[in-house]
Chain A
Amino acid sequence: MPEPAHKVRVECIVNGQSVSFEAFPLARLLDVLREQLGLTGAKEGCGEGECGACSIELDGALVNSCLVPALQAAGANIRTIEGVANHDRLHAVQQAFITHGGAQCGICTPGMILAAVNLLERHPRPTESDVREGLAGNLCRCTGYIKIFESVVEACHDMTSSRKSEHRA
């Protein structure tokens, strides 16, 4: 008989704050975020890593939190949708999703926005195929992705022009 699992204490950084929680080592990080930390922006769409609705950033990589064991969060730097806006100031990607119709029902939106933000941090000037590939792990049933692509391109322009104006300033 295997030993019954014991809860372990995990310490990590979530959205810039030190966080500590107790969980079974193989508990899904998605459940910990939603149920223990109250971060319900990550959604469960499939529970098997196909839909990307539970996407978060873990040490800068976009992951499906439904497939990440809680123990793997130990010492990690995590960003969820709740950490994307700068207090009341929306991220350029969030603003673009509102303006350009990137969000419809909104259930894939937190994961999709994190995927887009993650993409633009890796590729500040993505090609169309970069955008398609960068979002390929996030399913959307409402938009047909077209307005999401437009939102990402628009956010990219906004970020580029704001960087330029910062340089000038």
Chain B
Amino acid sequence: MQTHIIGKSLPRKEGREKVTGSARYVDDINFPGMLHGATVRSSAPRGRIRAIHFGDGIPWNEFTIVTAKGIPGKNCIALLIEDQPCLAAEFVNHPEEPVVLLAHADKYLLEEARRAVRIELDPLPAVFTIEDSLARKEIIWGADNIFKSFRVEKGNVDSAWASADFIVEGDYETGAQEQLYIEPQGMIARANPSDGVSVWGSLQCPYYVHKALSILFALPKEKIRVVQTETGGGFGGKEEYPSMIAAHAALLAWKSGKPVKIIYDRAEDMAATTKRHPSHTRHRTAVTRDGKLLAMEIDFSLDGGAYETLSPVVLSRGTIHAAGPYNCPNVRILSRAVATNAPPHGAFRGFGAPQSVFALERHLDRVAQAIGIEPAELRRRNFIHQGETIAVSQVIHEPVNMDRLLDRALELSDYHAKRRRLAAENSTGHIRRGIGFASFLHGAGFTGSGEEYLASEVAAEATREGRLRVMAASTEMGQGTNTIFSQIAADALGLSADQIEIVQPDTAAVPNSGPTVASRTSMIVGKLVENAAHEIQQKLFQEGLLTREYSAQDFAAACRRYIDAHGALESLARYQHPGDLHWDDEHYRGDAYGAYAWAVYVAEVSVDTRTAEVRVEDFVAVQEVGKVINPVLAAGQIEGGVAQGIGFALYENVVWQEGRMVNGQMTNYIMPTSMDVPPIRVFFEEIPYARGPAGAKGIGELPLDGTAPAIANAIAHATGVDITRIPVTPEVLLEMLESVHA
């Protein structure tokens, strides 16, 4: 039997196709007779549609044109609720809201036509900030502009203030961030009343698209088919928005009777699709003079944009992570996601946690400064230990050793020596250096009872050749699903990973293993892959076709005999929620996640005080994510996430004007290049998680949480500037440096 597949850096399963350019992404695929589709969008943030004008000089009779009236079923993009229209009918609620769809075989003429459509609006007053929305300057959504709010209570915060030696307050903001996958979004659809609707495209969650199309077309589930094509990055950006593009392509295909392809160019992608929610967090913290946290009061707000989309769940994760890996006896977290007249903000790797963790970890450095102890010492005195409870009153039963992670991270980065030396050196010259860190946790899987409701499924089928086909809706978008699933299944069966085939996610062929989000693919779905593989093996054992020690040839022979006797050798694994995990949705307390990844990240920066440019010079990322299945892929996840976190902290500034992103080009929305990344040194502590496949936990989102606050703390150390919002662009920092030294 093959062993030791887990923990080995097997090469990426689809690597050869990717390095030779033969991997087929949605824009590489064409169907005969295919039309191109385009979207005409609202230019104003809010208003009533008075008329749609089709300008002169365009042969409109050659075009397929769809408006809200042409929708066969319900005019919505169904997600948590059904408030977001597929095409605006009477009102628009944000700039770039889709109003009219056009299709034509000639994509150049199509673009001219798109520009020739004018949507006449009676403008309505709009709201653009969290503060104005909370102040109900205008009511633009529901009764009070609030999509969702949460209250978390642990202990008794109100009674703690009186006994505090220090009370430290802080106010923190994070900006929107564009996912900036390098492959823009796109879909191809075929649709007609007899065959139903089929779409192919770049997406993370086939069954989200499936549900949205079923409601939009009022068609039964079996009439809808969603196929994922090779996906050039997602990071959350292809979690919910692909349903919109699929809907548009399908409506045009339905009306024209021809296949329709919609590919966004970069400008449209940046202007219209989701971004990370801007946030505003207030902290009030009671602490003793020796650094013991007595109470944390956290007020956390997210700007959700014009429709609810995923804001309640983003808010949920942000809320639960807001008090970090600390054991504070009294915690109150009040949070809400509010409506503004911007395009809806959505999923982006970390999903609310990077926002609240930035505020917390920056705040704790300020708390340490206020009481005059080392930031590391403050963390150490409050770290959560096994058996203690985090803010949502979840007892951490797993082994957790934050002290060890902190020690290792500080040692690897030479933190203490640098902290002293750099401060002394900074008195001269225009380059100031600093070092800072952040400690944090990230829960894997859906929150609370989410996994129970999802009830994910994975199927497996053995072939006569002794190969295993794994069928799941979990998508490969670069993070390594294909390879990790192969390793897990191969390990479970004692085969080589080459003998595992991962079936392309296609709702006609794979069961619903849930969305590819929430750091759940390895841990939750991977476990189902493991179970499905074990079930196949059990069937062979039970029939006496296989003994405990077997070769690949034995396995193939057993599969052949089983299939000859029974017709097929298949299995289906369903998620079973562990009976000891309890979640109280009403009081927002309990076992929020089955498992957490734990981490400490250290950043060293240099700041040029003449240009206010910040460079990250060194970065150490130490984390405990359970058993590492594939070290190269796992390190790649961390390194890539850290680079995105560097962008979040320093460069990626979405400039808004009346709800519209005005710098929606790669020329002026700046992401890290090969010149901007420091050495990113990644270290794993491995404590196998009993419920994870081969001991693995989730990993994907973790690195976004701690990178920005570590950098902000390092900038504060280098310059003495009190960083309270990101991105810290040179423009922002220059102003702050001037005010400090004025």
Interface 9-mer from B228-236, B535-543, B603-611: B228-236
Cβ contacts B1-44/A at 8 Å (1 or 0 each): 00000000101101111111111110110000000000000000
A121 within 8 A of B: no
Which residues of chain A have C-beta atoms less than 8 A from B230's C-beta? 106
Which residues of chain B have C-beta atoms less than 8 A from A135's C-beta? 674
Does A144 lie within 8 Å of B680, measured CB to CB? yes
B675 within 8 A of A: yes
B160 within 8 A of A: no
- Alpha-carbon separation in the docked complex, A145 to B676 (Å): 10
Cβ contacts B62-97/A at 8 Å (1 or 0 each): 000000000000000000000000000000000000
Q: Which residue of B lies closest to A39 (CB)?
A: B21
Does B674 lie within 8 Å of A98, measured CB to CB? no
Q: In residues 100-128 of chain A, which contact B (Cβ within 8 Å)?
A: 100-101, 103-110, 113
Does B635 lie within 8 Å of A147, measured CB to CB? yes
Interface 9-mer from A6-14, A68-76, A80-88, A160-168: A80-88
Does B20 lie within 8 Å of A105, measured CB to CB? no
B590 within 8 A of A: no
- Alpha-carbon separation in the docked complex, A94 to B230 (Å): 19
Which residues of chain A have C-beta atoms less than 8 A from B641's C-beta? 144
Q: Which residue of B lies closest to A113 (CB)?
A: B19
Q: In residues 672-694 of chain B, which contact A (Cβ within 8 Å)?
A: 672-675, 677, 679-680
Count B-side interface residues using an 8 Å CB cutoff.
56
Does A82 lie within 8 Å of B21, measured CB to CB? yes
A156 within 8 A of B: no
- Alpha-carbon separation in the docked complex, A42 to B129 (Å): 40
Contact for B11 among A48, A98, A131, A141, CB less than 8 A? A98
A50 within 8 A of B: yes
Which residues of chain A have C-beta atoms less than 8 A from B17's C-beta? 106
Cβ contacts B617-658/A at 8 Å (1 or 0 each): 000000000000000110110011111100000000000000
Does A97 lie within 8 Å of B636, measured CB to CB? no
Question: With contacts A46-B666, A50-B666 known, is A41 near B680, CB below 8 A?
Answer: no
Which residues of chain B have C-beta atoms less than 8 A from A147's C-beta? 632, 635-636, 639
Q: With contacts defined as CB atoms under 8 Å apart, how many contacts are there between chain A and chain B in the complex?
A: 173
A157 within 8 A of B: no
Which residues of chain A have C-beta atoms less than 8 A from B232's C-beta? 43, 105-108
- Alpha-carbon separation in the docked complex, A147 to B635 (Å): 9
Which residues of chain A have C-beta atoms less than 8 A from B183's C-beta? 43, 45, 105, 107
Q: How large is the interface on A (under 10, 10 to 19, 20 to 34, 35 or more residues)?
A: 35 or more
A143 within 8 A of B: yes
- Alpha-carbon separation in the docked complex, A104 to B27 (Å): 18
Interface of B, helix, strand, loop or mixed by DSSP: loop
- Alpha-carbon separation in the docked complex, A48 to B267 (Å): 10
Does A142 lie within 8 Å of B636, measured CB to CB? yes
A119 to chain B, nearest CB (A): 11
Cβ contacts B224-244/A at 8 Å (1 or 0 each): 000000111111000000000
Does B266 lie within 8 Å of A45, measured CB to CB? yes
Which residues of chain B have C-beta atoms less than 8 A from A142's C-beta? 233, 478-479, 636, 640
Q: Which residue of A lies closest to B179 (CB)?
A: A141
Q: In residues 169-213 of chain B, which contact A (Cβ within 8 Å)?
A: 179-184
Does B639 lie within 8 Å of A143, measured CB to CB? yes
Q: Which residue of A lies closest to B29 (CB)?
A: A40
B671 within 8 A of A: yes
Which residues of chain B have C-beta atoms less than 8 A from A99's C-beta? 11
B498 to chain A, nearest CB (A): 14
Q: Which of B14, B25, B28, B640 has the most CB of A within 10 A?
A: B640
Does B635 lie within 8 Å of A81, measured CB to CB? no
- Alpha-carbon separation in the docked complex, A100 to B21 (Å): 18
Which residues of chain B have C-beta atoms less than 8 A from A84's C-beta? 20
The 4 closest A-B pairs by CB, nearest first: A41-B21, A105-B478, A107-B232, A106-B18
Residues of A within 8 A of B (CB): 34, 39-48, 50-51, 53, 80-82, 84-85, 90, 94-95, 97-101, 103-110, 113, 131-133, 135-136, 138-149
Residues of B within 8 A of A (CB): 9, 11-12, 14-25, 27-28, 179-184, 230-235, 265-266, 477-480, 632-633, 635-636, 639-644, 665-667, 671-675, 677, 679-680
A-B contact pairs, 25 of them (CB 8 A): A41-B20, A42-B21, A44-B27, A45-B184, A46-B266, A50-B666, A80-B21, A82-B22, A90-B16, A103-B12, A104-B12, A105-B231, A106-B23, A107-B233, A110-B21, A132-B674, A139-B673, A142-B233, A144-B641, A144-B672, A145-B639, A145-B674, A146-B680, A147-B636, A149-B674
